[in-house]
Structure 1
């Protein structure tokens, strides 16, 4: 038996209340947090537990997903991937991914992205995926290029973090491009 949610390195799964500790730990690396979105003040263990519990208890949605990226070998959380800006009428969606610093450069992000895209294209009939990457996040820029995404545009100086302005680079991949690479 095989699952569309499992690859060689990762398994995508729903968040569980006990995942709070791993995600709170990932927040310790400010640069990594900034690369994903924005830096927030530190939160308490109680707040992190509440966050994980609320996400675990949310009713699932077929198109707006938020999934734990777990190591395939032992199930420990290594990051999270989610879809957003879902436009059913146009068949487009965007996604974001964040991998905890101790788990960088192990192939988790690339495999998780491919698993998510396969689900959204082959099961949900979307026709295009988009990802916004900050121009200072060189590893993510390289990852998206390596995965076959096309750079479609740039919003100049659209984010301020760590005392500097960053561009946002828009990447896109169509279902045909995905199929040619990952059939």
Structure 2
């Protein structure tokens, strides 16, 4: 079981099946907001869909291929963050995140990504952390920029979001860079 207190207001917890209703309610409350950038929102229509997602993340954690955590702010689930993929051969962790609409602007995801990046380098002994965000998603792109990640390039038409493709911007951080700046 993974559980970390980042500070007095913020914790990360590996999701369990009994989190499905809270996760679904958070998704549902921010549905139109999340839909702009996340392609899975329209297929998450019931608590069972959230339960299936959690089962998938639990298997990924067990297999050491990924790690998805619920982000809790002041005791309430406000979003998720993850190592979407853990590439053990190349020592690369791929971070993803989303936050409910009502919780924006509190520095939550910046603190979470800072913690996950540090965890990837210190606990997992990885060499690289990779974050990809849609070119037009300025809020998501501000996180790696704020943390000193290097903008490495753009992937054209990297993701299909309902009725159109979006380009992704790739941000990278290397272990030695992270250690030098922290």
Q: After TM superposition, is the score higher than 0.5?
A: yes
1:5-60, CA deviations, whole angstroms, 9 ceiling, x for partnerless residues? Answer: 222232111113332223212333233244244443342234434544x3586463
CA distance in 2 between counterparts of 1:79 and 1:87 reads 24
Deviation for aligned residue 1:171: 0.5
Distance 1:37-1:119 versus aligned 2 partners, 3 A rule: farther
Q: Is the 8 Å Cα contact of residues 86 and 92 (structure 1) preserved in structure 2?
A: yes
1:42-100, CA deviations, whole angstroms, 9 ceiling, x for partnerless residues? Answer: 42234434544x358646355621111112x32x2111111133222221121111111
CA distance in 1 between counterparts of 2:87 and 2:52 reads 30
Q: Does 1:139 align with 2:143?
A: no
Please give the residue correspondences for 1:24-103 in structure 2 after superposition, counting only pairs within 5 Å. Answer: 24-28=24-28, 29-52=31-54, 54=55, 58=59, 60-62=62-64, 64-71=66-73, 73-74=74-75, 76-103=76-103
Say which is worse superposed, 157-166 or 55-64, in terms of deviation: 55-64
Q: What's the RMSD between the two structures over aligned residues?
A: 2.6
Q: Is the 8 Å Cα contact of residues 153 and 169 (structure 2) preserved in structure 1?
A: yes
Q: Could you say which structure has the greater relative contact order, defined with CA pairs below 8 angstroms and 6 or more residues apart?
A: 1
Which residue is equivalent to 1:169?
Answer: 169
- Could you tell me the TM-score, scaled by structure 2's length? 0.82
Q: Is the 8 Å Cα contact of residues 27 and 33 (structure 1) preserved in structure 2?
A: no
Count of equivalent residues: 177
Say which is worse superposed, 167-176 or 24-33, in terms of deviation: 24-33
Q: Which runs of 5+ in 1 are unaligned?
A: none
Q: Which runs of 5+ in 2 are unaligned?
A: none
- Counterpart secondary structure, 1:157: strand
Distance 1:61-1:70 versus aligned 2 partners, 3 A rule: farther
- Could you tell me the TM-score, scaled by structure 1's length? 0.82
CA distance in 1 between counterparts of 2:35 and 2:62 reads 25
Distance 1:119-1:34 versus aligned 2 partners, 3 A rule: same
